[in-house]
Amino acid sequence: MLPIVPSVSDYTFQIPDAAGTAVEIRTSIWKVPQIFQDHQLLPRQRRGGPFVLALADGSQRILRVRGTLNMSIEVDGRTYPLERRLTTIEYVFVALPAILAIPGFTGGALGFVIGIAGILNNVRLARRDAPTLIRVATLIGATAVYVVLYVVIAVAFITVING
């Protein structure tokens, strides 16, 4: 069975130069990233602005979450990766479902929805801890599933419309 795109991803990050201070970064497809410390949402400097982490010694750290495909956290202007950077070949295979999202090529909204969902799922599959050959084979197989799913839904829809 094809893994579904997780609705939430969590990352734990140890704040540099602040022994024992860790934050949890929670991301979702539908919401902006949030940063928690001890299960409490950190406040923001202003609406939509960076998060403010108060340390035990009275100092503060300014935190921002950056990126979509290669997510990182910025602490006081220094950037630290949260995810392994994808290779060029992984980007190519992650983007394969985009062919379903090309207007006029496949068929509008259905292709767009399945194509974008496929890209998001392929990003998660590409980040799995597995040998490169297995990851690439999984990405190709998943893309084939998206194409088959598109064809089955499109044929069923046309069959229903034409009676």
The residue type at 9: S
pLDDT confidence of residue 130: 86
pLDDT confidence of residue 106: 64
pLDDT confidence of residue 5: 42
Residue 140: which H helix or E strand, with range?
A: helix 132-162
As a three-state string, the secondary structure of 92-138 is HHHCHHHHHHCCCCCCHHHHHHHHHHHHHHHHHHHCCCCCHHHHHHH
The verdict on 68 and 134 lying in the same domain is no
The verdict on 96 and 158 lying in the same domain is yes
- 17 - beta bridge partners? none
Helix, strand, coil % in the chain, rounded to nearest 5: 40, 25, 35
**Would you say residue 3 lies in a domain?**
no
Taken as a whole, the chain contains a residue count of 163
Give the residue from 81, 102, 125 where a domain finishes: 81
Supply φ then ψ for residue 8, to 5 degrees.
-140, 140
The verdict on 33 and 76 lying in the same domain is yes
pLDDT tens for 56-81 read: 888 899 999 988 777 889 999 999 99
pLDDT confidence of residue 3: 42
List of the chain residues with pLDDT < 50: 1-7
Give the residue from 81, 112, 138 where a domain finishes: 81
Alpha-carbon distances of 125 from 70, 99, 101, rounded to whole Å: 14, 18, 19
Max Cα distance, the chain (Å): 72
**Would you say residue 1 lies in a domain?**
no
pLDDT confidence of residue 6: 43
The verdict on 97 and 141 lying in the same domain is yes
pLDDT confidence of residue 107: 63
pTM above 0.85, yes or no: no
The verdict on 59 and 96 lying in the same domain is no
Sole residue written with tokens 């340390």? 55
Give the residue from 81, 108, 124 where a domain finishes: 81
The residue type at 105: F
Sole residue written with tokens 């893994």? 3
Alpha-carbon distances of 96 from 16, 36, 100, 116, rounded to whole Å: 38, 34, 8, 10
**Would you say residue 114 lies in a domain?**
yes
Contact 73, 25 (CB under 8 A): yes
pLDDT confidence of residue 104: 67
pLDDT confidence of residue 62: 93
Domain count, the chain: 2
**Would you say residue 149 lies in a domain?**
yes
Residue 102 structural domain: 88-162
